[in-house]
Amino acid sequence: MEVTRIIAVRHGETAWNVDARIQGQLDIGLNDHGHWQARQVGQALAAEPVTAVYASDLQRAWHTAQRIAEATGAPLQPELGLRERGFGLFEGKTFQEIEQAWPEQASQWRRRVPEWVPPEGGESLLLVRERVAETVQRIAARHPGELIVLVAHGGVLDAIYRLATRQALDAPRTWKLPNAAINRLLWSPEGLAMIGWSDTGHLEVTARDEGSA
C-alpha cells in the first residue's frame, strides 16, 4: 500500500492562547494575529498538491483550514475526531487559576498521568491518544499515495507527535507546538513516521507556543 503524506497544522492564535486560558472544546475564534497566521500558512501551502483538508469543527481550527483549502483548491471536510482534548471543569480558566483552586488535580495534569480525567466531562490522555490514532488512521487510509492536510489543536498535535515518535504519554514534552506551524508526516498501515516538525518559516514573527488550546 502506498504511504499517505500528511501535513498537520495547529490552528492560528486566539486571545485565549495569549492569556494562557484553557480552551478545550469551547468554541473560541481566532484573534487578528491568528487570522494573519491562517492566511500565511495557506499561502505557504498553495503550491502543494493537496488532495483534501480535514479540520476540527471548532472555529479556530475551521477558519485556519478554510484559508488552506482556499489557497490549495482542495475540498474541506469537518472531522470531530480532530477536536481538542476535553478539559471539563478547567475550560475557560488559566493554568494559575487551576493550580490555586485544585492543586491535587493540577499536579496530576502537570505529571501527565495518562489515566487522569479532568473533572466534569474531561478526557484522559489515554482516550485522546486513542481518538487521535483512530481518526488519523481512518482518514489517511482513504488517501494512499496522496497528500492531505489535518488542521487541529495543540493537544491533538502533541498526540500525533508522540504516535509518530513512539513517545510515552507521560514523557516530558521537549518539542514545540506553535500556532500555524507546518508539520510533515507519513502514514502507512504500520503507523505514523516523522518527516519534519514545527516549520514556521512562513511566519514573520515568533509563534506563541501553548501546550493545549
User: 181-212 pLDDT, tens per residue?
Assistant: 999 999 999 999 999 999 999 997 544 444 44
pLDDT score for 209 = 47
pLDDT score for 212 = 46
Count Cβ atoms below 10 Å from residue 73 Cβ, excluding itself.
Answer: 8
Q: One of 13, 63, 79, 84 is an active-site residue; which one?
A: 84
Query: Any residues with CB less than 8 A from the CB of 38 and at least 6 apart, and which?
Result: 11, 12, 30, 63, 64, 66, 67, 68, 180
State yes or no: is 84 an active-site residue.
Answer: yes
pLDDT score for 189 = 94
pLDDT score for 205 = 54
Give the burial string for 88-118 (b: 16+ CB within 10 Å, else e): bbbbebebeebeeebeebbeebeeeeeeebb
- On whether the CB atoms of residues 176 and 117 are closer than 8 A, the answer is no
Looking at residues 116-136, what average pLDDT do you find? 97
State yes or no: is 204 an active-site residue.
Answer: no
Q: Between 37 and 212, whose confidence is greater? A: 37
β-bridge mates for residue 6, sequence order: 148, 185
Q: One of 11, 33, 143, 153 is an active-site residue; which one?
A: 11
pLDDT score for 207 = 44
Instruction: Tell me: pLDDT of 171 over 90.
Output: yes
Q: What angle do CA 149, 176, 141 make, to 5 degrees?
A: 25
Prediction pTM value:
0.94
pLDDT score for 204 = 73
pLDDT score for 13 = 98
Instruction: Tell me: pLDDT of 153 over 90.
Output: yes
How much of the chain exceeds pLDDT 70, in percent? 96
Instruction: Tell me: pLDDT of 95 over 60.
Output: yes
